[in-house]
Structure 1
């Protein structure tokens, strides 16, 4: 992966959009980027589980969990599956669990925080839909750039 910093990308490309949330970087990859696959769900990670089982091809899963801090949308087993299947990372408007294991998994993971509680698997949610959170609308196929400074969204590839 090409090294980048989100501040430099924002300076070079004034049309990028910054997600206005304070994410924490939990994955072993301090920076990650790729084309976006979107998931919209609330306290049910069934669609996340299905997505990470597919070939990732360097893409990034952006999950709009509504900002819920009650149920983890990602845990160690799903993170390991995502890494094994070639996903670059996940950006989660929600929380995760198993942070010690995720921290050594070859994957980028940004989330709002942590909880020990898992979700119920009800099969609810939507995939590949336009989502909006943190002041940014995100369309499937756009590009995400994430590092310890924040998360940027661009309509076109910047690297």
Structure 2
């Protein structure tokens, strides 16, 4: 799959205008081997707890993008090297984390695309709290389960429908 988020925006100005296509603010750092990835969103809402993230990445990804609303916390990491390896092994196209990641050398060796706010060496708590398959807000942009996520070196676009 080849695309450009710039071209997606240029070719879908009507969708940008009506809100069915949006772009995440340019606050996300890139990790993993895939600079370009796309797929339907699987959504999670957690806060400083990555048990649900692990459980989800243990399941077949089937080319989906896991979108994790971590509340923008910069106090611990929600995804690390072992979870990056799980994502690759189980066929996830990518992960977008509204929060932090860690083990970046390990993440960068994984054949998966990852976007996150920052890195943090501390792991999250493991209480198992959180929700799946609901509309989340990632840096002010609503992401619904099944929305299409398109990420490349220029940014991350969220579309209510598949664009390519």
TM over 0.5: yes
Q: Distance in 1 between matches of 2:33 and 2:105?
A: 10
Q: Distance in 1 between matches of 2:6 and 2:139?
A: 18
Q: 2:31 aligns with which of 26, 30, 38?
A: 26
Q: Match for residue 69 of structure 1?
A: 74
Q: Match for residue 10 of structure 1?
A: 9
Which is further off, 57-66 or 9-18?
9-18
Deviation digits for residues 43-71 of structure 1 (CA, Å, limit 9, x no counterpart) = 00111000000000000000000110111
Q: Distance in 2 between matches of 1:92 and 1:47?
A: 13
| TM-score, normalised by the number of residues in structure 2 | 0.94
Q: Match for residue 18 of structure 2?
A: none
Flag structure 2 segments of 5+ consecutive residues without an equivalent. Answer: 16-20
Q: After TM superposition, what 4+ stretches of structure 1 lie above 3 angstroms from structure 2?
A: none
Is residue 22–residue 150 contact of structure 1 (8 Å, CA) maintained in 2? no
Structure 1 residue 21, shift from structure 2 partner:
4.2
